[in-house]
Structure 1
Amino acid sequence: MTVVPIDQLRPVATVGRPPRFGGVDALLADATEEVLVMSTRAAAIAGPIGAIRKADLDNVRRGVRYRVLVPDPARTAPQLAAQLGALSLAGGTVRTVPDVPTDAIVVDRRIAVMPSDRGIAAFQLPSVVTTTVELFERVWSGAAPLNPSALPESTELTLRERHLLSLLFSGSTDESAAAQLDISVRTVRRTVADIMNRLGARSRFQAGAKAAERGWLLDLAG
Structure 2
Amino acid sequence: MTGVLIEPPADGADEATAEEHAAHLEETLLQARALIESTVSLYRQRPATASAVAPTDIAVLGEALDQVIGRARHSVSVALTGSGEFADSVLRLLALAPPGAALRVLCSAEAADASLARLRRLPGAQLEVRVSERELREIAVVDGSAALVRGAAQSDGPQATVVNDAAAVRALELLFAGAWARGRKLADHLGLSPRLRSELTRNILERLRAGHTDDTAARDLNVSLRTYRRHVAEIMRELDAHSRFQAGARAVELGLLSG
TM-score bracket, normalised by the shorter chain, equals 0.5 to 0.7
1:2 aligned to 2, 5, 19, which one?
5
Secondary structure of the residue aligned to 2:122 is: helix
Confirm or deny: 8 A CA contact 1:49 1:104 kept in the other structure.
no
In structure 2, the CA distance between the partners of 1:172 and 1:112, relative to structure 1 (3 Å rule), is: closer
CA RMSD of aligned residues (A): 4.0
Q: CA–CA distance in 2 between the matches of 1:82 and 1:113? A: 25
Query: 1:25: which partner in 2?
Result: 66
Q: Pick one of 207, 224, 234 that aligns with 1:169.
A: 234
Cα separation, 2, equivalents of 1:70 and 1:137: 13
Q: Give the drift of 1:115.
A: 2.8
Q: Residue type matched to 1:48 in 2?
A: F
Shift of 1:171: 6.0
Whether 2:123 is the aligned partner of 1:120: answer no
* Residue of structure 1 equivalent to 2:173: 133
Counterpart contact for 1:52–1:84, Cα < 8 Å: no
Instruction: Tell me if structure 2 keeps the 8 A contact 1:97–1:144.
Output: yes
Matched residue, 1:48: 86
Query: Whole-Å Cα distance in 2 between the matches of residues 90 and 80 of structure 1?
Result: 19
Aligned to 2:136: 101
* Corresponding residue to 1:72 among 103, 109, 112: 109
2-side partners of 1:46 and 1:86: how far apart? 18
Structure 2's unaligned 5+ residue stretches are 7-52, 58-62, 196-230, 241-249
Question: Residue 117 of structure 2 aligns with which residue?
Answer: 82
Gap change, CA 1:81 and 1:137, over 3 Å in 2 = same
By how many angstroms is 1:99 displaced? 1.7
Are residues 1:110 and 2:145 paired?
yes
Distance in 1 between the 2:237 and 2:87 partners?
43
Say whether the 8 Å CA contact 1:50–1:103 is kept in structure 2.
Answer: no
Q: Secondary structure at the match of 1:32?
A: coil
- Listed one character per residue, the Cα deviations across residues 175-220 of structure 1 (whole Å, up to 9, x for unaligned) are xxxxxxxxxxxxxxxxxxxxx9xxxx6568x69xxxxxxxxxxxxx
Q: 1:108 to 1:169 in 2, by over 3 A?
A: same
Deviation, 1:49, is 5.2
State, as a whole percentage, how many aligned pairs show the same letter: 21
SS in 2 for 1:99: coil
Question: Measured at CA, do residues 120 and 39 of structure 1 come closer, stay the same or move farther in structure 2, by a change above 3 Å?
Answer: same
Scaled by the length of structure 1, what TM-score is found?
0.54
Contact conserved, 2:80 with 2:111, CA < 8 A, in 1?
A: no
Q: Match of 2:86, SS?
A: coil
